[in-house]
Structure 1
Amino acid sequence: MKRAFMSELAIVRTLTPSIAGVGLFIFVVLTLANASDGDSGMSAGACAVSAMSPIMVMSSLAGFDNQNGWERYRATLPLTRKDIICARYLCIVVFSAIMACAAVLLNIIALPFFNSAGVASTGQTIFEIAIASAASMLISLMMVFLAQPLFFRFGHMEALRLSVGLFALLGCLTMAALSSSNPISNWLMSIAGANPDPAVLGCLCAGIAVLVLALCAISCTVSTKVYRVRDL
């Protein structure tokens, strides 16, 4: 497991400059675009980077496997396929967490500059920004865990086509779930909006994290089974 994880990290190191560059561009654009809304709007940049990082690293790793033939070569190494799968999932989670932390740190660094420029403050705390970024990352990880078995089953190109449809379907379901006509959505929004207490926000984020962990375990199990029977 350790050797498989280190090999994944070696690949991620080569992909980090491009992913970080895209993330920085997204952060700057969205932060400047929403600066007029105050510090609550500026957190959009951190949330966007946190949400996009899991998807970017998943597709980048799959693309690297396909482009360089690493998937077949890795199968010849003294690594079990279960170790390969677990290392890939762990690498995605670790990299996503690092990117989310970096996005929050950039937001914290940017706040004094906007305050000195006269941008109105809405009183949003650093904790709230961190919770929003963490929730964005966790929700994105749920989407990644749903799509990841497709990459191990069908390969990079076919999985990309299927994952686009999957993400579109998930987006439609999310909008339907967050609709004002949904009583569960209204109940959750009332809790988060009427109780901006750190404990309440922390509990909501912890609940999402539990769902992500459960989905990760299920997805990892499915990926392991389909990868074992796949002919490389």
Structure 2
Amino acid sequence: MKAILFADLVTLKKSPKQYLLSIGIMCAIFTATALFDDEMDAEQIVGFFQGSITGMSTAMSSFFAFFQLFGMDEQAGWQSVRLSLPIARRDIVVSRYMILAAMLVVMLAGSLLLATALTTVITQVAFGSVTTMPASDILALAIVYFAAFLTYLTIELPLFFRMGLSKARGYFTLPFMACMLFMLKPVQEFAGKVGTQLMGVVGAIGSPWPLILGAAAAALVLYALSGLISLRLYSTREF
């Protein structure tokens, strides 16, 4: 297990420049937009930076790690070589799930720190005082993003373990395409009703935290179940 984890970490260290460059360009565009848009007030900038940058940079970094690991498996023939070693397929699956979840946490924390630092600087320069989200809102945002991206990995990982990168990458955009359903009026109406009911539950409870923590717990359970499915699929895969 330790050897597989180490190999995955070495793979992720090989090309971080592309990821960092992409994040840097995105932050530069966001900063220029905030500084030169006179119509944006402090609260809008806070939401723009701490919400958008955190979500986009975490998504980009998660996709980077995901494709870097599975891409290296095929490009270097590592997926065939490691099966000739005294390594159980179970260890390969568990290692990949562990490292992607850990990377998600690390990248989410880093994205939040980056977004908060930029928000602090921009609001100070533009308005003469620092404005940021309350700590409780930042924590809630982090948990929601964590649950969302973990759910995405839950859906995609079994496909990639079963088919490999070259075949499964065609399914990479399916979750995003599913989001396009919200452009349909019936789906929008249904989502509105669900949102209203959730707000009613939050009002009855008096706090959104039970729902937020419940969503995170559900995402973790589904991620574990996804690991079991991936193990079963990967165990029967032929190379």
AA partner of residue 152 (structure 2): M
1:194-222 deviations in Å (ceiling 9; x for gaps): 79xxx934433312211111111111111
The reply on whether 1:204 has 2:211 as its aligned counterpart is: yes
Kindly tell me: are residues 32 and 144 of structure 1, through their superposed partners in 2, closer, same or farther at Cα, counting changes over 3 Å? farther
Q: 1:82 touches 1:224 (CA, 8 Å); kept in 2?
A: yes
Does 204-213 or 175-184 show the bigger shift? 175-184
TM-align CA RMSD: 2.9
Structure-1 residue corresponding to 2:170: 161
Q: Give the C-alpha shift of residue 92 in structure 1.
A: 0.6
How far, CA to CA, are the matches of 2:17 and 2:200 in structure 1?
Answer: 40
Structure-2 residue corresponding to 1:92: 100
The reply on whether 1:12 has 2:19 as its aligned counterpart is: no
1:69-109 deviations in Å (ceiling 9; x for gaps): 11111212221101100100111111111111111111222
Structure-1 residue corresponding to 2:87: 79
How far, CA to CA, are the matches of 2:210 and 2:167 in structure 1?
Answer: 38
Q: Give the C-alpha shift of residue 31 in structure 1.
A: 5.2
AA partner of residue 29 (structure 1): I
**When the two structures are superposed, what TM-score results if normalisation uses the length of structure 1?**
0.84
AA partner of residue 39 (structure 1): V
Kindly tell me: are residues 230 and 141 of structure 1, through their superposed partners in 2, closer, same or farther at Cα, counting changes over 3 Å? same
The reply on whether 1:102 has 2:116 as its aligned counterpart is: no
Q: Which runs of 5+ in 1 are unaligned?
A: none
Percent identity of the aligned residues?
Answer: 22
Q: SS where residue 126 of structure 2 aligns?
A: coil
Q: 1:150 touches 1:159 (CA, 8 Å); kept in 2?
A: yes
Structure-2 residue corresponding to 1:146: 155
Kindly tell me: are residues 60 and 191 of structure 1, through their superposed partners in 2, closer, same or farther at Cα, counting changes over 3 Å? farther
Structure-2 residue corresponding to 1:186: 196
How far, CA to CA, are the matches of 1:115 and 1:34 in structure 2?
Answer: 9
Q: 2:11 touches 2:68 (CA, 8 Å); kept in 1?
A: no
The count of corresponding residues between Structure 1 and Structure 2 is 228
Structure-1 residue corresponding to 2:228: 221
How far, CA to CA, are the matches of 1:24 and 1:220 in structure 2?
Answer: 33
Q: Which runs of 5+ in 2 are unaligned?
A: none
The structure whose Rg is larger is: 2
Does 135-144 or 183-192 show the bigger shift? 183-192
Structure-2 residue corresponding to 1:127: 136
